Structure 1
Amino acid sequence: MLRRKMMKERTLREIKEEYGISRRAIQGYEALGLVAPTGKTKMSYLLYDEKMVERIREIRFYQNAGFQVKQIKELIDAPADVKKNALCDKRKELMRKIEELTRLLERMKKIIEEQ
């Protein structure tokens, strides 16, 4: 008889420590319906399976890229082409910001050198 390989579940504390995500952030994701615990330990600690952990990582990626939680909620389960378009748009936006910051830094350097 084949046994189903069980996915390793992690506690909130393990996820928090491994990925540097606050307990409050994960609870916020839960409140918005973005993630949900997949079980509990005997001590009633919430557990998250690998699928939920991957989803948390994906949410953090979008946040770090500058997406708002409302946008992430729309993107997280969107088809690949929708995600791709959103990421392309965000990439263009970030490239423009980099160019603006580079010009600003160059101007600062010039002013500093003139002082």
Structure 2
Amino acid sequence: MKVKEVADLVGISVRTLHHYDEIGLLTPEEITESGYRLYSEANLEMLQQILFFRELGFPLKKIKEIISSPAFNRQEALELHRQMLLEKRTRLDKMLSTIDKTILHSKGEINMTNQEKFEGFDFSHNPYEQEARERWGDEAVDRSNTKIGQMSKAEQEAMSQEMNEIYRKLAALRNDAPDSKESQAAIKEWYDLLNRMGNYSLDAFKGLGQMYVDDERFTKNIDKFGEGLAKFMRDAMAIYADNHKK
């Protein structure tokens, strides 16, 4: 199949396929003398694998590393994709249920507890790992992942609940001054929690706060706890970092 035919079949752009070729992620089976890229059945199977990884949030660099490994097993990868997608579907089902309940709550038809308002949110899965690696290096992120990976599932769930509790606490303070005693005490809890998961310097902590505002994906997720929370956290984190570097 020619590149345009593959792009139309899959629903991605020709430019994306060209990029995959340029970075060595998906090399066409053949390139004709006139320069046409021709994709084989094996290429299509590999492309499917790549897109499964993309759907699950893996960066291209990591996908290339995985599929280029001599230990890579396509069947095992498919089983892993299935498991991870089932987990993702479960989280989405919970969030859809939360949305439905919130609609009824806003109409006054039911009452929701504060805990019910946040069912389905899960910040233990980090979709921004690549950005973190680029900003603070692989070692810091790997240390964090190692710590989390050594926790039991129950410990990871408890950590996720603790993160959400701090988010809620900060959301309740977001209209206060970020340098107030209460705000700084709450942001210290956030700093301490992050350092139980990894190893964040004060500069990294401040930089992370700035990313909460610069990256709209962070802003969107954090502001689910209260509009303006991401900006409040950025300011509080910067003040905390500056004050403790003195």
- SS of 1:114's equivalent in the other structure is coil
Which structure carries more relative contact order (alpha carbon 8 Å, separation 6+)? 1
Structure 1 stretches of 4+ moved >6 Å: none
Match of 2:9 in 1: 18
1:35 aligns with 2:26: yes
Q: CA deviation at 1:12?
A: 0.4
Match of 1:101 in 2: 95
Q: Contact (CA 8 Å) 1:75, 1:82: kept in 2 or not? A: no
Q: CA deviation at 1:81?
A: 8.2
Determine the C-alpha separation between the residues in 2 that align with 1:87 and 1:38.
Answer: 25
Determine the C-alpha separation between the residues in 2 that align with 1:88 and 1:40.
Answer: 33
Normalised to the residue count of structure 2, the TM-score between the two structures is 0.36
- SS of 1:36's equivalent in the other structure is coil
Match of 1:111 in 2: 105
Cα pair distance change 1:74/1:97, threshold 3 Å:
farther
**Aligned partner letter, 1:50:** E
**Aligned partner letter, 1:53:** L
Cα pair distance change 1:104/1:71, threshold 3 Å:
farther
Question: Which structure's residues are more often helix, by fraction?
Answer: 2
Determine the C-alpha separation between the residues in 1 that align with 2:76 and 2:65.
Answer: 10
Determine the C-alpha separation between the residues in 2 that align with 1:71 and 1:89.
Answer: 19
Q: CA RMSD in A?
A: 2.9
Equivalent residues in 2 for 1:32-111, closer than 5 Å:
32-41=23-32, 43-77=34-68, 78-79=72-73, 83=77, 87=81, 90-91=84-85, 94-95=88-89, 97-98=91-92, 100-111=94-105
**Aligned partner letter, 1:87:** H
- SS of 2:38's equivalent in the other structure is strand
Q: Contact (CA 8 Å) 2:2, 2:36: kept in 1 or not? A: yes
Determine the C-alpha separation between the residues in 1 that align with 2:41 and 2:78.
Answer: 23
Determine the C-alpha separation between the residues in 1 that align with 2:29 and 2:78.
Answer: 29
Q: Contact (CA 8 Å) 1:11, 1:45: kept in 2 or not? A: yes
Residue range with higher mean Cα deviation, 57-66 or 102-111: 102-111
**Larger Cα Rg: Structure 1 or Structure 2?**
2
- SS of 2:107's equivalent in the other structure is helix
Once the two structures are superposed, what CA deviation does each residue of 1:7-60 show, in whole Å capped at 9, x if it has no partner? xxx110110111112112112211221111222345421112221122112211
Determine the C-alpha separation between the residues in 2 that align with 1:99 and 1:72.
Answer: 27
Determine the C-alpha separation between the residues in 2 that align with 1:28 and 1:42.
Answer: 20
Listed as ranges, the gaps of 5+ residues in structure 1 are 1-9
Determine the C-alpha separation between the residues in 2 that align with 1:72 and 1:60.
Answer: 10
Normalised to the residue count of structure 1, the TM-score between the two structures is 0.67
Cα pair distance change 1:21/1:76, threshold 3 Å:
same
Q: Percent identity?
A: 24
For these two proteins, the number of residue pairs brought into alignment is 106
Q: Contact (CA 8 Å) 1:37, 1:47: kept in 2 or not? A: yes
Determine the C-alpha separation between the residues in 2 that align with 1:18 and 1:74.
Answer: 26
Q: Contact (CA 8 Å) 1:75, 1:83: kept in 2 or not? A: no
Listed as ranges, the gaps of 5+ residues in structure 2 are 110-246
Q: CA deviation at 1:112?
A: 3.6
